[in-house]
Amino acid sequence: MQQSVLTEAVLLGLALVLAWALSARWKQGGHQRAPQSRSILFGKAIFDGALFPVLLLVLAYVARAWAAHVGPLILFQIAMPVLVSLAAIRVGAKVLQEAAGAAPWARVLERSISWVAWMSVVLWVSGLLPVLLAELDAMTWQVGGSTLTLRALLEGLLTAGAVLIGTLWLSSAIEDRMLAAAGARDHSLQRVASKLVRAIVLFIGLLVAMNAVGIDLTALSVLGGAIGVGIGLGLQKLAANYVSGFVILAERAVRIGDNVRVDGFEGRITDITGRYTRIRAGSGREAIVPNDTLVTSRVENLTQSDRRTAVTTSVPVGYDSDVDLVKRLLEQCAAAQPRVLTVPPPAATLDDFGADGIRFTLTFYISDPENGWGGLRSAVNFAILQTLREHRIDIPGHQHAVRLVNADERAV
């Protein structure tokens, strides 16, 4: 008996060391991957992820089969339920963290999984689990033409939960793979494709889970018809926005990162969801634009073919100013700013002969419009004002000449 227990302890120790070594090696090799792909299998420490307890459980099953040929199993009778519970808790917690982030309900589900797993271990080790299952099997009630037991209902719920957790894991892995393979210009399309795949996988997982609980899936045809009628009558605008979102991301007429002007609002696209597009102006203001608006109305894409964006400022000078000198000074003031591009270079043009003076328009280009241009235009204007004052070039204000006709000359 002691030799059998010693053999089981040695095999368990070998399984633990081997699982630790394999997890450490795979984690070291996984440093080249995206952080999202490591969040479920690997944690901050080796034992914090889902890979280590799953590997330990698999290796423990192999060791258990080996130890069964040596003698009666004693230590494995206690170790196996503990390892199954540990693997279930780690996998469930990591998948929920990846799928829901810091949502409060995710923490509740994590604690529920832990309580159910460890209570099952206690009942199994104490020998009360078969008795409890027999009592649950004896609790029946009639639902229509079917007879349900409390045990079947609980087992169905556990199966449904396991299926949904596996589905969330699979959909998260697929989404991370697709986003990791996306290029800079294909990011929007890859994003909508990953969300579509995730929705399909979750829908299939939900159907499998409902079937595991015992729900007749033929009843969904009535629900599907009701949803179709609701979309056709009351959700037309919402459906149009979702369809428009897929059209936008598929055609790539506008993409995340583009600077656009929609209905007088100008800014950079920061996010495209299924229903709306988020546009952030250089001043920090954000606009939530329904996707249907982007499809049916005029949209100016300022950076689709060229990331360079033109910024202009208007400068008036007196009629007695040296226009060649003014032109050169304005262009030098703009070129001195680090964000202003040298190709194409800043250009000052004489645009108007006003009543107060000559009006120049200074145009310069930037390649990072997402950082805004209000502050840059202000810096250029400050430099222009200081330079014109140093060269004693007049910046005229508004002037009005008043002429009195048939008036007493002494009174004037």
Examine the domain organization and report whether 165 and 64 are in the same domain: yes
Number of separate domains in the chain: 3
Q: pLDDT: is 146 or 291 the higher one? A: 291
CA distance 240 to 246: 10
Q: pLDDT: is 365 or 141 the higher one? A: 365
Residue 352: its H or E element: strand 347-353
Q: What share of the chain is helix, strand, coil (3-state, %, to 5)?
A: 60, 15, 25
SS3 360: strand
Q: For 197-214, what is the mean pLDDT? A: 68
Q: For 62-83, what is the mean pLDDT? A: 76
CA distance 212 to 268: 47
SS3 36: helix
Q: pLDDT: is 46 or 241 the higher one? A: 241
Examine the domain organization and report whether 267 and 153 are in the same domain: no
Examine the domain organization and report whether 106 and 136 are in the same domain: yes
Examine the domain organization and report whether 374 and 313 are in the same domain: yes
pLDDT single digits (tens) 329-363: 999 999 998 889 888 899 999 988 887 788 999 99
Examine the domain organization and report whether 269 and 291 are in the same domain: yes
SS3 147: strand
Q: For 24-44, what is the mean pLDDT? A: 58
In the 3-class helix/strand/coil scheme, how is 234-258 assigned residue by residue? CCHHHHHHHHHHHHHHHHCCCCCCC
> Where a domain ends, among 183, 205, 238?
183
Q: Comparing 184-188, 242-246, 260-264, which segment has the lowest mean pLDDT?
A: 184-188
Q: For 362-367, what is the mean pLDDT? A: 88
Residue 290: its H or E element: strand 286-290
Range of the domain at 350: 309-390
Examine the domain organization and report whether 53 and 151 are in the same domain: yes
- Split at pLDDT 50, 70, 90, the class of 325 is very high
Residue 131 CB contacts under 8 Å (≥ 6 apart), including other chains: none
- Split at pLDDT 50, 70, 90, the class of 412 is very low
397 lies in some domain: no
Examine the domain organization and report whether 22 and 164 are in the same domain: yes
31 lies in some domain: yes
Token match 């952030």: residue? 280
410 lies in some domain: no
pLDDT at 98: 66
For every residue of 361-382, DSSP letters joined together read EEEEEES-GGG-SHHHHHHHHH
CATH at 375 = 3.30.70.100
Instruction: Say if residue 213's pLDDT is above 70.
Output: no
